[in-house]
Amino acid sequence: MAYETIVYERKEGIGIIILNRPDRMNAINMQLVRELDDVMDQIEKDEEVRVVILAGHERFFCAGADIKEEITPYYLAKLRNVFRKIESADKPFIAAISGVAFGGGCELSLVCDLRIASETARFGVPEIKIGIIPAGGGTQRLPRLVGVAKAKELLFSGDPIDASTALRIGLVNKVVPTDTLIDEAKIVAKMILDRPPVAIRMAKLAVNVGMKVDLESGLDYEAQCASALLKTEDFQEGVRAFAEKRNPVWKGR
């Protein structure tokens, strides 16, 4: 499939998706949803890609839903589906956010595992100002990241916050200079590549499942994941490498 609203490239185990609707500040339309859905299917099947960076333009990550197009229940259902694909993918996703990340753009960053922001990044869920609420998971994922009270403040006001505030409340992992944003994201991606892939996959899964269940159920699931990892070649290699004081060579099994 030839893409028009995104650019996708892969190199040395890292996939990079760049939102590419500069004339609309990367606003999300139906075509962008379809193309994200298609590239997600590619990524999931590609065993060479082990971590993905999702980025936008220097001045705008994503301005949210494209209000020039009709927002229908079908559109919202497809949007939520592709967001779930990113969130539940067995490969970590790193959002590299510069400039505006409003509405659906903010929600898109929330489904990624890590968020690195440039100093110019601004986040907001302004839907309340036009008489609606976020419909891409913002009311559910935001409080899980920043706490209930702060999430309600952002949702009730609809006002944006800057990168330093986003860092302080735990919305982003790191704030970096704008001109180093992609390089910083690649550094984090390469760190993940240096870790055992099966354990990375299990760690993401354990957290995702644990956030949906009570603590005891989450602990039980964590124990199941850890028990499964004890049987992997990577765990045995990790133990040997530690004893021999050398870098491990992961096999992904």
Report, as residue numbers or ranges, the catalytic residues: 107, 127
CB 172 within 8 A of CB 121: yes
Helix (H, G, I), strand (E, B) or coil at 109: helix
Q: Provide DSSP, 10-72.
A: EETTEEEEEE--GGGTT-B-HHHHHHHHHHHHHHHH-TT--EEEEE--SSEEE--B-TTS---
CB 24 within 8 A of CB 65: no
**C-alpha–C-alpha distance, residues 199 and 149, integer Å:** 33
Residue type, 169: I
